Structure 1
Amino acid sequence: MRLLIREHALGMLVTQHGGLPDADHLPFEFAEGGSEGLGLLRAHVARANPVWRRAGQQVLAVFRGPAGYVPPDQQQKIASGGKVVPTWDYNVVHVHGRLRAIEDPGWLLDFLHGQTRHHEADQPQPWSVTDAPPAYIDGMLKAIVGIEIDIARIEGKWKG
């Protein structure tokens, strides 16, 4: 499940707003730790995005891996009578936990350095946070808020 999260990091974060579900799509980082030892999910959002103000809520993050339609002619014949029907195969992980907002500039900067190193690792000329002017980065840090989900439960569903 952790591998699926790492390889398909764009998760759908489901929170409650005005009694209704609300979804935000965010690239998450999985980190070891958490109060249950199940790990932490970390991301950042624009300060203008109200999701960070929902800190304290129990939330759901959904990660979708490979998925696709499987026609009958691509399936193994189950019985001599060819009893097959079209289906859909998929891999998903559901992560439940409590949302926390983090406004500490040091935490945010460390997080951004780690995210950038991870995502730029395969680039011919990897970009680093230190490649941007410090004043620009300081301004960007004021415009974002970190979020963290302390994982209380994690479930995987693999079909196919």
Structure 2
Amino acid sequence: MYVPAPFRESDRATLYDFIEAHPLGVLVTAMAHGHADAPYATHLPLHLDRAAGVLRGHLARANPHVDRLRSAAGAEVPGLVAFSGAEHYITPTWYPSKQEHAKVVPTWNYIAVHVQGAVTLHDDEAWLTTHLTQLTDSHEASQAHPWAMHDAPADYLAAQMRAIVGVTVRIDALEGKYKVSQNRSDADITGVVEGLTAMDTPASRVMASEVAGRRPVR
């Protein structure tokens, strides 16, 4: 991922926090398909194990991605997982510098975290049970009456698990891009915060907070 210095975030704890707050990732691998290495992508929720340095998820067994990964015949398959968060269009009319010299253009603010690492499939029922329990427990924790694996009939769960394949992505590389106007002047940053705040939409309020929170100390 192209990450200019003003937008780079390298703190592992911060990036892990971001992944846990935005767990729906896009797993991309390039596997031999026909006469070329064709990229293939799957959107899936992933559970982060900080201590082990891995992401765990599952794919539908019918997903062609599974067959592509199996075609590696035991070799490690390099993968990329992209996580995205707040994003918003930024109009140059919010920049005071527009009135000064007019040398401004629109842009898009956004936050993204990428993980690169080896991808492994898992068919073991015990592995899947542990993974699904961790995944559901983490997301059900905020519910007044959390759903648990044992709430569903055992035979139904067994059938559901036969229809999926577990996947692990080892975190070999981790990078974050917080593109939230840090490359603009102090006055322009203030203009962006004020413009987003005035829009008063859920997306604009979140981005206004990100821009204000990452204002460079100059």
TM-score by length of 2: 0.66
Matches within 5 A, 1:96-107: 96-107=116-127
Cα 1:69–1:101 change in 2 (3 A) is same
Q: Tell me what 1:48 maps to.
A: 62
Q: Are 1:87 and 2:107 an aligned pair?
A: yes
Distance 1:154 1:129 in 2: 32
The answer to whether the aligner puts 1:143 opposite 2:163 as a matched pair is yes
Residue pairs, 1:1-160, within 5 angstroms: 1-17=15-31, 18=33, 19-34=37-52, 39-53=53-67, 54=69, 56-75=76-95, 77=97, 80-81=100-101, 83-160=103-180
- After TM superposition, the structure 1 stretch with the greater mean CA deviation from structure 2, 39-48 or 81-90, is 81-90
Distance, in Å, in 1 between the alignment partners of 2:157 and 2:109 is: 42
| 4+ residue runs over 4 A deviation | none
Indicate the SS of the match to 1:63: strand
Structure with more contact order per residue of length (Cα contacts < 8 Å, sep ≥ 6): 1
Equivalents in 2 of 1:78, 1:29: separation in Å?
44
Which runs of no fewer than 5 residues in structure 2 stay unpaired?
1-14, 71-75, 181-218
- Specify the SS of the correspondent of 1:124: coil
Q: Distance in 1 between matches of 2:95 and 2:81?
A: 31
AA aligned to 1:123 is Q
| Distance (whole Å) between structure 2 residues aligned to residue 59 and residue 116 of structure 1 | 24
- Higher helix fraction: Structure 1 or Structure 2? 2
Q: TM-score, normalised by structure 1?
A: 0.88
| Aligned-partner Cα distance in 1 for 2:154–2:96 | 59
Count the aligned residue pairs: 156
Deviations 1:50-101 (A, max 9, x none): 3234152101111111111011133453884354321110111111101001
Specify the structure having the higher radius of gyration (Cα): 2
> How far did 1:30 drift?
1.1
> What amino acid does structure 1 have at the position aligned with 2:41?
A
Q: Classify the secondary structure of the residue corresponding to 1:11.
A: strand
Percent identity of equivalent pairs: 39
CA distance in 2, matches of 1:76, 1:131: 58
Cα deviation code 1:4-31 (max 9, x no counterpart): 2111111111112311111111111111
> SS in structure 1 opposite 2:44?
strand
Structure 1 residues 78 and 152, CA gap change in structure 2 (3 angstroms):
farther
Structure that is richer in strand per residue: 1
